[in-house]
Amino acid sequence: MKNYDVIIIGTGAANIVADAAARQGLKIAIIERGRFGGTCLNRGCIPTKIMVTAANYIREFREASQIGVLSEHVRMDWQVVSKRLWKKVDESHAVKEYYAAMPTIDIYEGTASFIDKKSLHIEMNDGSAAEISGSKIILGIGARTNVPALPGLEETGYITSESLFGTNYPPQPYKSLIIVGGGPIGCEFAHVFDAAGTKVTIVQHNVRLLPKEDESISQYVLDAFHRYGIQVFLNQDTVSVHMEKDKKVLSFRNRTTGEEQEVSAQEILIAPGIVPMTDLLHLEHTDISLDKRGYINTNEFLETSAEDIWALGDVNGLAPFRHKANYEAEIIAHNIFSGNEPDTWRWAQYETVPAVTYTYPEAAHVGLTEKQARNANYEIDIAINHFSASAKGYAMGYEPGDSNDGFVKLVIDKKTKNILGVHIIGPQASILLQPFINLLSCGQLTVEVLHEEIASPAVKMLRHKKLTRNLDPHSVITMGESMTPHPSLSEVTMWTRYYYEGK
Ligand SMILES: Cc1cc2nc3c(=O)[nH]c(=O)nc-3n(C[C@H](O)[C@H](O)[C@H](O)COP(=O)(O)OP(=O)(O)OC[C@H]3O[C@@H](n4cnc5c(N)ncnc54)[C@H](O)[C@@H]3O)c2cc1C
Ligand SMILES: NC(=O)c1ccc[n+]([C@@H]2O[C@H](COP(=O)([O-])OP(=O)(O)OC[C@H]3O[C@@H](n4cnc5c(N)ncnc54)[C@H](O)[C@@H]3O)[C@@H](O)[C@H]2O)c1
């Protein structure tokens, strides 16, 4: 059995760890069952944001009459959008070639599962098999759509974000689309397809769209979707699916009144949340512990409960965002694969994980919602500033009372004046949020212990010291250690840090 210094499973954010290990000249195995680059590049952030950008222009042009710009017959050229999208997704080949060209890296294209604590069986995509072992193992295996057991669904057929960016990519926008789930995936696709001319209906289980957002943001997005003509059913249980002529029909039931309704469309997109990819790994052969939902337990240093096995990204269930997965990968790279002594190790803070949903307009937040702050017994002040209250907002066409007037909402601790949460809805909310993320990430931080039972000897020693860290707002390092959700801001941040580190 071939033995490696490091085995990396999954080529999403875990690539950051692979790069660091490669710089140390270690012998590395990379295992990937799908396209290189993981969810973000192939079927997540990047292709959706290419679609969203086109959809945003359509909405902006339609709203531009407010500021005296007239544009008629604005519509999406699906072929151009699709061509640009697939050009980017096809870069996954370049990711593979990049690693394949490295002399210290072996690539295994197949599905890994544990046969003992440090050995893996790989069912290769070409039908062959391999067995390898590793001294250190990194799990960056991500998650996939949690397809509900809905009577009739399998027979009728459906799409998910995975199959949409796989074998089911539509040659033109659907005539009509039912979206099951009103979270970030459901709402972003609703925005995209509605702008592309599809008649969209969302059937959402929760009483709100985007239930992880502040209630005021959910209400704004619901109102905006109604204005665009998107049909939204909230507080529903999905009951069954069947075909009627060439249409797919979804039956659903109101969770309060019990009233049953049906809606039909050309296609059904299933977006009711995700499940971790742990089921393929045969973790029963390891000491890795899972939480109740099946996610891998990790501590603040990304250690799992098994010696010398780390897990990062969606699979630890701590917040499924690319910026958070990158942040964790960089911590593992810094602590384990950059020659740093434990005294200088970094740890993860999850209090200030930002989120941006790319609807139109964007919804962005960091920290506590108003409700979460009240439930945590803070005495709070709420400050709300509408776009229309600023000169720039007026220039953009917003006037007080406009139904599309966005806002910035601050949740503030009355006693300390500390910012507990920031919630923004409006154009460029992702960019407006960034200073708040950086502010909240600066200053004196104390390690918050996660899963106390998970502790290597180094981590035991570090916890004993009651770690603190001062993130200096002037320092380029602080910039790198704050999460940056906006894709281009994050590239600038990474460039800034790598440029500095390269000197
Ligand atoms: C439609 C959509 C839009 C999104 N938009 C955004 C956004 O705008 N911003 C944002 O921050 N986040 C967004 N996300 C979330 C983001 O894509 C994920 O949080 C992120 O990609 C997770 O990265 P990861 O490295 O944990 O896992 P992944 O990128 O999913 O990588 C895991 C890899 O492991 C491989 N793998 C799994 N099991 C095995 C195995 N047993 N053997 C071998 N290989 C295996 C998989 O094939 C996969 O390539 C979006 C997600 C979706 C679905
Ligand atoms: N811009 C971004 O950062 C971005 C974009 C897309 C996805 N993501 C991440 O990917 C993850 C998955 O996204 P998601 O939107 O699928 O997940 P989600 O869990 O955030 O939302 C799913 C929604 O579906 C609803 N739901 C669940 N079961 C249902 C059912 N049977 N019928 C109808 N509705 C049902 C839930 O009430 C929930 O609001 C998210 O956690 C998100 O953070 C991030």
> How many whole angstroms from 321 Cα to the centroid of ligand 1?
8
Ligand number nearest CA of 250 is 2
Instruction: Please give the number of the atom of ligand 2 that sits closest to the Cα of 148.
Output: 31
Q: In 3D, which of 336, 345, 456 has the Cα closest to residue 8?
A: 336
Going from the C-alpha of 320 to that of each of 130, 262, 315, 356, 408, the distances in angstroms are 31, 32, 8, 12, 24
Structure tokens at 121: 């069986």
To the nearest 10 degrees (0 to 180), the angle between helices 15-23 and 92-100 is 20
Q: What is the pLDDT of residue 487?
A: 86
> How many whole angstroms from 142 Cα to the centroid of ligand 1?
5
40 Cβ closer than 6 Å to some ligand 1 atom? yes
> How many whole angstroms from 274 Cα to the centroid of ligand 1?
10
Structure tokens at 36: 């290189």
ipTM over 0.95? The verdict is yes
Going from the C-alpha of 156 to that of each of 144, 151, 159, 240, the distances in angstroms are 21, 10, 11, 10
- Beta strand 355-357 with 362-367: parallel, antiparallel or unpaired? antiparallel
**pLDDT tens by residue, 445-489:** 899 999 999 999 999 999 998 888 899 988 888 888 899 999 888
Residue 292 CB burial class (10 angstroms; 0-12, 13-18, ≥19): exposed
Confidence of residue 337 (pLDDT cuts 50, 70, 90): very high
Cα 263 to chain centroid, rounded:
29
158 Cβ closer than 6 Å to some ligand 2 atom? no
Q: What is the pLDDT of residue 502?
A: 64
**pLDDT tens by residue, 5-62:** 999 999 999 999 999 999 999 999 999 999 999 999 999 999 999 999 999 999 999 9
Q: Does position 393 have pLDDT exceeding 70, yes or no?
A: yes
- Show the domains of the chain with their CATH numbers: 2-43+87-145+275-341 (3.50.50.60), 153-272 (3.50.50.60), 355-442+482-501 (3.30.390.30)
**pLDDT tens by residue, 259-285:** 999 999 999 999 999 999 999 999 999
Residues 6+ apart with CB under 8 A from 100: 107
Q: Is 273 annotated as a binding residue?
A: yes
Q: Using a cut of 0.90, tell me whether the model's pTM lies above it.
A: yes
Q: How many whole angstroms separate alpha carbon 366 and alpha carbon 383?
A: 15
Q: Does position 303 have pLDDT exceeding 90, yes or no?
A: yes
Rg (CA), the chain: 24
Q: Is 432 within 8 Å of 364 (Cβ atoms)?
A: yes
Q: What is the mean pLDDT of residues 81-88?
A: 97
Cis before 361? omega within 30: yes
> How many whole angstroms from 282 Cα to the centroid of ligand 1?
20
Q: What is the mean pLDDT of residues 432-446?
A: 93
Q: What is the pLDDT of residue 503?
A: 56
Within 13 Å, how many C-alpha atoms sit on residue 87's CB side? 8
Q: Does position 101 have pLDDT exceeding 80, yes or no?
A: yes
Structure tokens at 407: 């806002």
Q: What is the pLDDT of residue 497?
A: 79
- Beta strand 309-311 with 129-139: parallel, antiparallel or unpaired? parallel
Q: What percentage of the chain carries pLDDT values higher than 90? A: 92
45 Cβ closer than 6 Å to some ligand 1 atom? yes
185 Cβ closer than 6 Å to some ligand 1 atom? yes
Phi, psi at 183, each rounded to 5°? -90, -165
Q: How many whole angstroms separate alpha carbon 276 and alpha carbon 453?
A: 22
Q: Is 449 within 8 Å of 297 (Cβ atoms)?
A: no
Confidence of residue 501 (pLDDT cuts 50, 70, 90): confident
Going from the C-alpha of 262 to that of each of 19, 228, 236, 259, 310, the distances in angstroms are 51, 21, 11, 10, 46
Confidence of residue 290 (pLDDT cuts 50, 70, 90): very high
Q: What is the pLDDT of residue 135?
A: 98
Pick from 43, 204, 483 the residue to mutate for probing ligand 2's pocket: most ligand atoms within 8 Å of its CB.
204
Q: Does position 287 have pLDDT exceeding 70, yes or no?
A: yes
Q: What percentage of the chain carries pLDDT values higher than 70? A: 100
In whole numbers, what is the pLDDT of the chain averaged over residues? 96
Q: How many whole angstroms separate alpha carbon 228 and alpha carbon 192?
A: 11
Instruction: Please give the number of the atom of ligand 2 that sits closest to the Cα of 161.
Output: 16
